[in-house]
Amino acid sequence: MNGRAEGRDTRLRISVVVPSWRDAENLAALLPVLSRLDRVAETIVVDALDNGESERIVLSCGATFIASPAPNRGEQMNLGAEAASGDVIVFQHSDTDLENAHLAAIEATLSDPQIIGGAFFRKFDGRHPRLMWLESVARFLTRHGGTLYGDQSIFIRRDVFMTLHGFAKIPIMEDVEFSRRLRAAGKIAVLDPPVRSSARRHLRKGAWRTSIQNGLFIVLYNLGVSPHRLHRWYYGAMKRDPERDAVLSS
């Protein structure tokens, strides 16, 4: 009994930070799972829509709720990190799975003190079958210095995150910008098992259309287009999508 208690005391404390905006449905699916994982020391949801529903779901699952003044994912994650007390922070999208095997992989990887953080490979289940080949391409690129994206459950030692001063205060592409600094800061690891995100947006808007749009915005950002301009373009297109409005209002 004492041995088990001692093992728990020496285990890394993992804080999970979930930025949320109009994500009540996803939170209702994700948070009960996280509440049952003994490797999760705390879950912090930073929500940017003050309608009470997300807060009710968060508190009912024993998680911490923080209200954000605006839907800016980078700033939301910074707020969550400031409230976190764990040794490690996992930045988790609400529509991405996180299971015990992922947390065990983080623990095993960070037993090497030289590794400062990392992310997971992605699983492309549910997308158009003609796009499945992108999973292998993404795996290759990620393994060879490619960007670590937000839906890959990025994890980092909390002290390193604070040293890096968190995510940049930009409205979009915060994960791309942070990935560059994370890779430059030290040794990182990209892990299996892969994480799986909801394919609803790909299926609703079209897998090819969504993938091409995402790729185009990343190219434009890398070419120096302002993230503020990209944000206007991206969310302007989303506002013109009546199917998205129907989903968000349902």
- CATH number for the domain that contains residue 68: 3.90.550.10
Q: Please tell me the predicted confidence (pLDDT) of residue 4.
A: 43
Helix boundaries (H) for 111-188? 133-143, 158-163, 174-185
Global pTM reads 0.86
Residue 185 in domain: yes
Lowest-confidence region among 24-33, 173-182, 225-234: 225-234
- Whole-number Å distance between alpha carbons of 83 and 126: 35
Split into its structural domains, the chain has a count of: 1
CB 47, CB 66: distance < 8 Å: yes
How far CA 71 is from CA of 77, 172, 249, in Å, comes to: 11, 11, 17
Residue 221 in domain: no
Flag whether pLDDT at 126 surpasses 60: no
Residue 245 in domain: no
Residue 11 in domain: yes
R_g over Cα of the chain = 18
% residues pLDDT > 90 (the chain): 66
Q: What angle do CA 116, 122, 123 make, to 5 degrees?
A: 150
Domain range for 72: 2-198
CB 95, CB 126: distance < 8 Å: no
Of 14, 4, 173, the C-alpha closest to 107 is 14
Give the pLDDT mean for 226-242: 72
What does the block give as tokens for 146? 């490619």
The per-residue pLDDT for range 76-123, each reduced to its tens digit, is 999 999 999 999 999 999 999 999 999 999 999 999 999 999 999 998
% residues pLDDT > 70 (the chain): 82
Residue 137 in domain: yes
Provide the pLDDT confidence category of residue 215 given band limits of 50, 70 and 90.
confident
Q: Please tell me the predicted confidence (pLDDT) of residue 30.
A: 97
How far CA 174 is from CA of 23, 105, 125, 146, 180, in Å, comes to: 19, 25, 25, 15, 10
List of long-range contacts for 209-215, beta carbons under 8 Å, 24+ apart? 211/131, 211/134, 213/237
Residue 239 in domain: no
CB 66, CB 83: distance < 8 Å: yes
Residue 70 in domain: yes
Residue 193 in domain: yes
